[in-house]
Structure 1
Amino acid sequence: MAAGRDAVVGKLSVLDRFLPVWIGVAMVVGLGLGRLVPGVDTAISAVSVDGISLPIAIGLLVMMYPVLAKVRYDRLDTVTGDRRLLVCSLLLNWIVGPAVMFALAWLMLPDLPEYRTGLIIVGLARCIAMVIIWNDLACGDREAAAVLVAINSVFQVIMFAVLGWFYLSVLPGRLGLDQTTIDTSPWEIAKSVLVFLGIPLLAGFLTRRIGERVKGRSWYESTLLPRLGPWALYGLLFTIVILFVLQGHQITSRPWDVARIALPLLAYFAIMWGGGYLIGALAGMGYERTTTLAFTAAGNNFELAIAVAIGTYGVSSGQALAGVVGPLIEVPVLVGLVYVSLALRSRFPVAAGRGAQETSGGAADAR
């Protein structure tokens, strides 16, 4: 098992190999700037268009574009024809995930209604952004990840407000628990999806299509992609710094509250990732698609969750703090799970016709 992991990790660049260190540094830098530099969070927050933070949007676009440029769009039909994968993903993301977060929030935060509500909102916001990075670092199936996040984006527009009403109003009422609600429109959710997924997806598709037509697939895979690759991690680190600059004061001034919120989040990530991995393995999906299933089940769209919490309850609310703690816990935990995935890789049979994946600038490049 260790040999399989070392074989993959050994191909990583210095940037990739020490990614947990760089992420830790980015989080500390962001928290430090937000806490120690007066007005920096206000200045960054002011740079927004129609409620969307431009610095965060830029970071996410830079992060996702190189990975989506690596996707082989001519292979997407092999994913859409995999009914086991699609059904398992839909069940995990839209039935199991929200229910698990609801249960954990009520079990672990029965006395903290604001944080509880914030966590439930996080559970409803299925991942469409950073999961692309975690999946790629773990050598998951890129094409499957592209399809699953696209499906999540469609369901997010349709189901987010409906599930919010159910888990915050209907179900608590039926169980004799406190009720609350969220105020968001399908357009607000669609806007988030279009910005954070639509733009980089279109850019990645056009880059591959034009690049292969003009220079050929060999040049595209061997020359252009290695140059684009490192920018995914630059964008990730930039996004983390900005996120923690914006919420540095909130996080560092309420450490006990952060710890209380972190416990159900840790349990959630473990249950969702472990459940996705177990289901994929038992269903015989192979390493790549099992990994993709696990990470798309465990990740959350923290950008949407934070935006909804702030828009409904205010920037200083407990609900907003719960949303902010989401990436604080998610980022290091899912980076750790990348290494767990790589360690488990040797336990899966190698798919016929697939060689070992190469890594360059932040993920597996050759496939």
Structure 2
Amino acid sequence: MSFFERTLTLWVALCIVAGIMLGRLMPDVFQAIGGVEIANVNLPVAVLIWLMIIPMLLKIDFAALHQVGRHWRGIGVTLLINWAVKPFSMAALAFFFIGHLFRPWLPADQIDSYIAGLILLAAAPCTAMVFVWSNLTKGEPHFTLSQVALNDVIMIVAFAPIVGFLLGLSAITVPWDTLFLSVALYIVIPVITAQWLRRRLLASGGEAALNLLLQTLGPLSLSALLVTLVLLFGFQGEQIVKQPLVIALLAVPILIQVYFNAALAYLLNRLAGEQHCVAAPSALIGASNFFELAVAAAISLFGFQSGAALATVVGVLIEVPVMLSIVWIVNRSRAWYERGSAAKTIAEAHQ
């Protein structure tokens, strides 16, 4: 993990401050940027999102999907958490905390938008940072790669229906054309582009050429994320300065769902007898969110100045420290984990 990645939360905080200050100093510039859009999709943000996502997708080899059967228990648990538990648990937490418990302290006209942002945040599993978290837990690299590749394939077809269904439950009108356009722009096109570029690089220069490009694009990807945050907070600045409590309240359901899903995945893997090197990345994939996609979709569906965009940005703010805490927990609990069913599986594998 690079210094930039370790200190990402600090950089996010600095971008928040910079965005608020620049939004106050140059409101006309931010309004002009916000107006550059087609079919409710902001083009400058679309470019920034591609710069974020494509370098991450370059790491993924979809040929790894043939390995999914090697760790079928871990794959099954992670798929269950990612697609059958996490979006729905977040929706339930959002309805309870934002829609009811915290309602008196939140702007009444933004309640539904906040809920929508939280749903978008949890509707897709993390793609790139998971490789960092998995490495820190000595996770099985082939499992992590095949699980991420499988999730990306599922995301292409499942993201829009899940989001549409859950937003419909919250009585939010779903602009289906914009939602499907977001899926095409932020999932389908980046996946196709990254895989085409990956194959070209491997054919012409091998792994060395691919690794060189990844090293070059890595800082660019994180920089694009930070520039996007500056734009977001340039629009949201006044609201945040006046209501900092909103950030803290939005963080509550995010924190609960992250720890809940990580713990559930970890325990289910232990009960299933999966090895720790698979259970650890499974828990991390089950807990983390594809916040780059969530930010882009929130802007496309609801706009720069929406509560949905703000809710997804809160996810960015707390992602790194929360995931590092889960890394610490699974590493410290390894001895306990391996006293369970996993010990029998390991013993059988060596017989």
Q: Which residue number corresponds to residue 186 of structure 2?
A: 196
For 2:111 and 2:263, how far apart are their aligned partners in 1? 23
Q: Which residue number corresponds to residue 28 of structure 2?
A: 39
Q: CA deviation at 1:195?
A: 0.9
For 2:126 and 2:227, how far apart are their aligned partners in 1? 16
Paired amino acid for 2:57: L
* Residue pair 2:284, 2:326 contacting (<8 A) in 1 also: no
Paired amino acid for 2:97: M
Query: Would you tell me which structure has more helix in proportion to its own residues?
Result: 2
Paired amino acid for 2:129: W
1:182 aligns with 2:197: no
Paired amino acid for 1:188: T
Q: CA deviation at 1:196?
A: 1.1
Between the two proteins, the alignment pairs up a number of residues equal to: 316
SS of 2:134's partner is coil
For 2:262 and 2:20, how far apart are their aligned partners in 1? 27
Q: Which residue number corresponds to residue 124 of structure 1?
A: 119
Q: CA deviation at 1:238?
A: 2.1
Question: Which structure 2 residues correspond to residues 1-367 of structure 1 after superposition, within 5 A?
Answer: 12-79=1-68, 83-109=72-98, 110=100, 111=103, 114-125=109-120, 131-139=126-134, 141-165=144-168, 167-168=169-170, 180-185=171-176, 187-217=177-207, 219-280=208-269, 282-283=271-272, 284=274, 286-287=276-277, 290-291=280-281, 294-299=284-289, 301-310=294-303, 320-321=306-307, 323-343=308-328, 344-345=330-331
Q: CA deviation at 1:330?
A: 1.0
Instruction: Please list the CA deviations of residues 194-223 of structure 1 after superposition, one character each: whole Å capped at 9, or x if unmatched.
Output: 111222212221122111111223x23553
> What RMSD in Å do the two structures reach over aligned CA positions?
3.1
When normalised by structure 2's length, the TM-score is 0.76
For 1:199 and 1:157, how far apart are their aligned partners in 2? 15
For 1:238 and 1:245, how far apart are their aligned partners in 2? 10
Paired amino acid for 1:16: E
Paired amino acid for 2:296: E
* Residue pair 1:149, 1:296 contacting (<8 A) in 2 also: no
**Structure 1 runs not aligned, ≥5 long:** 1-11, 169-179, 350-367
For 1:80 and 1:237, how far apart are their aligned partners in 2? 38
Instruction: Please list the CA deviations of residues 68-93 of structure 1 after superposition, one character each: whole Å capped at 9, or x if unmatched.
Output: 11223321221377554454344334
For 1:17 and 1:183, how far apart are their aligned partners in 2? 37
Deviates more, 1:144-153 or 1:75-84: 75-84
When normalised by structure 1's length, the TM-score is 0.73
**Structure 2 runs not aligned, ≥5 long:** 136-143, 336-351
